[in-house]
Chain A
Amino acid sequence: MSTASLEVENLHLWRGERHVLRGVGFALAGGQCLKVTGVNGAGKTSLLRTLAGLMYPEEGQVRWCGTDVRRDLRGFQGALAYLGHEPPLKADLTARENLHYWIRNRRRVSAALLAQALLRVGAEPFADRLVRTLSAGQRRRVALAGLTLCIVPLWLLDEPATNLDAEGQRLIGSLIAEQLARGGLAVAAVHHELPVALGAVRQLELAA
């Protein structure tokens, strides 16, 4: 299978009268991470949502493995995992049930693998509690377990370390490092330093 690559060329996005993305472009290959920075309202979330195909840019192109993602948007979306501000979890389901319904939508995942992912992110002790009883940091950890279980080449992370303690932030760093070591790519919008000590991390600063 060919190496994964993401190329973004001259993206322009308008939201009403606001020109949110002004000619954004970059290229990433397998094993590389892009850190997207910028002040509040600079368009970090809009960029990630545009990359994910949830927003439609007025101009520009996103290419996945050399092909315009619009040619097979569903196929491209199946190859990425997007973690937004809020973890996509149901308050009235347990953490384990949430992962069951979220991930088995994409691929068959055994109960053992699910338990392994929960253990990996330190969410095993509260895996059988209803999500409504979990703290914001615990919810984020459950979402991270889902992220690892997606097993996709491209991660799009919007403020992945939000609500996490120092150990949780190190966990983010190691998860991203593992994703890159497996040949994957990651684009992360962050306010603070991305806790990944790798030469493969590049930076894109968005102006307000």
Chain B
Amino acid sequence: MSAGNAPSVLELPVTAASAVAAVSAWAAARLALQRDLTLAFRKPAQLLQPLAFFALVTMLFPLAISPELSQLRLVAPGAIWAAALLASLLALEFLFRDDAQDGTLEQYVLSGQSLTALLFAKTIAHWLLTGLPLACMAPIAALSLGAPVGSLGAIMVAVVLGSVTLSLVGSIGAGLTLNIKRSSALLSLLTLPLSLPVLIFGARATQVAIAGGPVLAPLELLAALAVLGVTLAPLAAAAAVRISLE
């Protein structure tokens, strides 16, 4: 019942399967990234949730504290980073959950590809869809909290670097809580302590940028955390997913 008369690879002996070109880990990871982006843009409402949360929280500060820019400027670093951290947590729950429920993660494990590479690709997709938009919105939020225009570039870079680490650290927590119903609270408990260095150095970088000081040192620390996250978090996330799938 083949479509054509020519012999198809589907009719080859299975031991000749090696004749069919295998896919490199890089190509498989790129495909996983592409798939997640395609799926995300078909459900845009889910994409907007963390962004709307971040905008709402940072916009509430002027209402709750004072419209005085000098006062807002003092709380801006804390407000921006606490909001970014919580918005990032909000999105983490979706990182692996759908894939675990519909069996996609199992197929990733059984694909013969590196699970670490595939989950890293998923985490990059997650960052592109949540962390990067947050970083783009951070200068607007900072401006509304009285940050000078000259500091906005550094604030954006800080949020870019910090959000990378938040996504990576979050991937470990998301992997560990895959099989737990209503896992948001546990996910926060697991992830928040590991995210504290990002909060501290991120807020410091923002504070220094607003004050017009040398911002390079805290940015370098944020970059170092991101590099550490890229190196270790995908391995830990893969191990966590394997344990959760058992």
Contact = CB atoms under 8 A, between A and B. Distances in A.
Interface of A: 1-4, 30, 52-56, 74-75, 77-82, 84, 86-93, 97, 101-102, 104-109, 112-113, 115-117, 119-120, 148-149, 151-153, 178-179, 182-184
B31 A113 contact: no
A59 to B, nearest CB: 16
A30 B102 CA distance: 30
Interface in B1-51: 1-4, 8-18, 20-23, 27-28, 31-32, 34-35, 38-39, 42-43
Contacts of B106: 54, 82, 84, 88
A183 B2 contact: no
B112 A106 contact: yes
Contacts of A89: 102
Interface string B99-115: 00011101111111110
A92 B20 contact: no
A88 B107 contact: yes
A120 B2 contact: yes
B10 A148 contact: yes
Interface of B: 1-4, 8-18, 20-23, 27-28, 31-32, 34-35, 38-39, 42-43, 102-104, 106-114, 118, 245-246
Contacts of A88: 102-104, 106-107
Given A101-B35, A116-B2, A52 B14 contact: no
Given A84-B106, A93-B39, A179-B14, A116 B20 contact: no
Which of B14, B38, B111 has the most A CB atoms < 10 Å from its CB? Answer: B14
14 contacts: A52-B110, A53-B109, A55-B246, A84-B106, A90-B39, A92-B43, A93-B39, A105-B118, A106-B111, A107-B23, A108-B21, A151-B20, A152-B14, A183-B14
B29 to A, nearest CB: 9
Chain A at the B interface: SS class: loop
B107 to A, nearest CB: 5
A112 to B, nearest CB: 8
A157 B75 CA distance: 58
Nearest to A116: B3
B103 A92 contact: no
Contacts of B23: 104-108
A93 to B, nearest CB: 7
B77 to A, nearest CB: 38
A151 B12 contact: yes
B245 A54 contact: yes
Contacts of B102: 86, 88-91
Nearest to B19: A151
